[in-house]
Amino acid sequence: MFRHLTKATVFSASTNLPTSSSSAPKVEVGEVQVNPDIKLRRMVYRPAHPKGTVLFLHGFPETMYAWKPIAESLSSDYEVHAFDWPGYGQSSRPGADRFSYAPKDYAHVLEDYIRTSGIDSSELLIYATDIGALPALLAALEQPDIAREIIVGDFAPFNRPQYMYSTLQGLKSKPSSDAVHAAMNTNRDEILANTFFRGMPPEERYALSQEFRDDMAKGWGGEVTSADAFYHYYSCFTRDQDYFEANMAKLKVPVKVVWGEQDIYIMKEMGVEYANRNGVKLTILPGLGHYPHLQAPEQTVNEVRAAFSAGSNPAKD
């Protein structure tokens, strides 16, 4: 049902990963209005002859630039998209009275983005992590043909607080959620400096590009901060987790799960349960934490290429 890789090589997030063609793709960074309330900043790599399309969905406290090294590596062969979720980076931040920042609302944003961007879903691979993963699966429940395959990892599909970091547990209900929310807004600099490396010895820390660091810091603020968006997401999280668990058997899109073995925020047992109950392939990445795409970007590149190589109807292991 699932397998452990025997070895994972750690790469810097700023590593120049190899591409397979010398032809340079067109790169677009701009904005797209996906519905009346939401404008998304996006990054798109368009090669002359794409073999398919990849859409990357980031987590907290990231922005679309988390995917830049991976997008550059894949862009000679695939059209690559990434955007900032509402409340992150340079995307819209409507008040919570107009947009709840719930996983279900993010799912609708994802659906709107795919439609507005004119992406051919039959050639689309969605790769989603952390807060981006549940919305991708919820969108697939509403639109069974939303993608040819979805790869998800290091997220919480079910309401299992025992598998989650204590701070995340605290966000799931009041009154603890209000205290955590306030602390997150107060401690922005500490969060951006240490979230990616918490629990790691200094010698195992990996590099993050200055461009990515600066983009997260610049994109944190506003009337709705990234911590506010995260808080609102969690205020509806249990509801949307329960809905997904009750309906997950209806998913038609092939799903694969990828998980960092040493994830301290959402333990690998969450991924094992999801994979076992749904009969999908699970890859545990030894030595990696909650952000495998930053810690070992070449692993993510290989996962994407392998998914396209498997054909249009990926087999479940």
**Predicted local distance difference test score (pLDDT) of residue 23:** 67
Tell me the H-state helices in 143-263. 166-171, 176-186, 188-194, 210-218, 226-235, 237-247
**Predicted local distance difference test score (pLDDT) of residue 310:** 87
- Tens digit of pLDDT for each residue in 68-117? 999 999 999 999 999 999 999 999 999 999 999 999 999 999 999 999 99
Asked if the model's pLDDT at residue 64 lies above 50, the reply is: yes
Does residue 257 belong to any structural domain of this protein? yes
Which pLDDT band holds residue 178 (cuts at 50, 70, 90)?
very high
Residue 121 CA, chain-centre distance (Å), reads 18
C-alpha dist (Å) from residue 14 to 68, 70, 169: 9, 10, 32
Asked if the model's pLDDT at residue 1 lies above 70, the reply is: no
Does residue 253 belong to any structural domain of this protein? yes
C-alpha dist (Å) from residue 58 to 64, 133, 282: 6, 9, 20
**Predicted local distance difference test score (pLDDT) of residue 2:** 36
Asked if the model's pLDDT at residue 56 lies above 80, the reply is: yes
Domain that holds residue 247: 2-309
Token digits for 306? Answer: 């392998």
Asked if the model's pLDDT at residue 15 lies above 60, the reply is: no
Q: What is the mean pLDDT of residues 1-20?
A: 38
**Structural domain total, the chain:** 1
Q: What percent of the chain has pLDDT over 70?
A: 91
Does residue 119 belong to any structural domain of this protein? yes
Which pLDDT band holds residue 16 (cuts at 50, 70, 90)?
very low
Does residue 314 belong to any structural domain of this protein? no
Token digits for 313? Answer: 């109807």
Pairing of strands 255-260, 281-285: parallel
- Tens digit of pLDDT for each residue in 236-275? 999 999 999 999 999 999 999 999 999 999 999 999 999 9
8 Å CB contact between 111 and 146: yes
Does residue 316 belong to any structural domain of this protein? no
Does residue 142 belong to any structural domain of this protein? yes
Q: State the CATH number of the domain containing residue 146.
A: 3.40.50.1820
Asked if the model's pLDDT at residue 22 lies above 90, the reply is: no
pTM for the whole thing?
0.92
Asked if the model's pLDDT at residue 296 lies above 90, the reply is: yes
8 Å CB contact between 156 and 59: no
Asked if the model's pLDDT at residue 312 lies above 90, the reply is: no
Asked if the model's pLDDT at residue 12 lies above 80, the reply is: no
Residue 28 CA, chain-centre distance (Å), reads 20
Does residue 229 belong to any structural domain of this protein? yes
Asked if the model's pLDDT at residue 144 lies above 80, the reply is: yes
Does residue 317 belong to any structural domain of this protein? no
